[in-house]
A and B are shown apart, each in its own frame.
Chain A
Amino acid sequence: MTIPIAQDMEIVATAQAAAVGEFIGMPRDKIDEVKLALVEACINAFEHSHTRDDKVRLTFRMGEEKGADYLEVEVRDRGRGFDESRVERPAPEKTFAGRQKRGWGLQIIRSLMDSVAITSGPEGTRILMRKYK
């Protein structure tokens, strides 16, 4: 699916993730984790990609690896990309000192999903994230 960069569109996307998760019998709490990771990936694309077409492309896949079912979500934008190694890592002490309240998206995505692969360059960014059932 392709969503426009607009208020609440990330929630529209989570309905699709939930539908695929429910289809493979993923527990509700794990579906919630996928939904939040997807929300954070969409927000990052909305706020930071500076995409040329004001759209974010999403693909939902279900699959099985070594007997374990999984739900995979791919989030792609056609923005200007970013260098993850140059992104300042957030920390609670920075957040509460008032210096860095934002910038938690990638950390949350990595904490909630079982695997995350990010590829980014001048043609855009692709986040591929997987959660096992």
Chain B
Amino acid sequence: MSEICKVSAERQGDIAILLTDGYINNQGGEEIAREAYAQLDSGARALLLNLEKTRIVNSIGISILIEVLERVMDRKGELAFCGLTPTIDKTFRIMGLAQYAKVFPTQEEALRALAVAGRGA
């Protein structure tokens, strides 16, 4: 059995939207990181991770997301999340991820906020 997380990406200007589908473990986290770094290297200023199709992120997956966040912060970019289940939201808060990345209920709200932040940059 394989539960590898699928990651798809689209761009809206300098914002890259990464949509995950499935369990985020070490493999899923690495898949997200690979796509995130590709987007950053091709000029994305902000990353939005939409997790609405993911119900479990384990602590290894979150540790990889933290590495992605650190790279984004090094580049003075932004990382935001949306579509979190209450359990994922709680886990992000326990591990401190929500202290450094913004969390929005929906993709639309996240995109509005990231666009405004980009205009102020």
Contact = CB atoms under 8 A, between A and B. Distances in A.
* A and B form one complex: yes
28 contacts: A8-B3, A10-B58, A11-B3, A11-B56, A29-B86, A32-B56, A32-B86, A32-B87, A33-B90, A36-B56, A36-B57, A36-B91, A39-B58, A40-B59, A91-B96, A92-B96, A95-B95, A95-B96, A96-B100, A98-B70, A101-B63, A104-B62, A104-B94, A104-B95, A105-B59, A108-B59, A108-B94, A108-B95
SS class, residues of chain A in contact with chain B: helix
Contacts of B59: 40, 43, 102, 104-105, 108
Interface string A98-115: 100110110110011000
Which 5 pairs show the lowest CB-CB distances between chains A and B? A92-B96, A32-B87, A101-B63, A104-B59, A29-B86
Interface of B: 1-3, 23, 25, 55-60, 62-63, 66-67, 70, 85-87, 90-91, 94-97, 99-100
A16 interface: no
Interface of A: 8, 10-12, 14, 29, 32-33, 35-36, 39-40, 43, 90-93, 95-96, 98, 101-102, 104-105, 107-108, 111-112
A112 B59 CA distance: 13
Contact of B87 (A11, A29, A90, A93): A29
A8 B2 contact: yes
B37 to A, nearest CB: 17
Nearest to B87: A32
Contacts of A11: 1, 3, 23, 56
Contacts of B86: 29, 32
Contacts of B56: 11, 14, 32, 35-36, 39
Given A8-B2, A39-B56, 8 more contacts: A8-B23, A11-B3, A39-B58, A40-B58, A43-B60, A93-B96, A102-B59, A102-B63
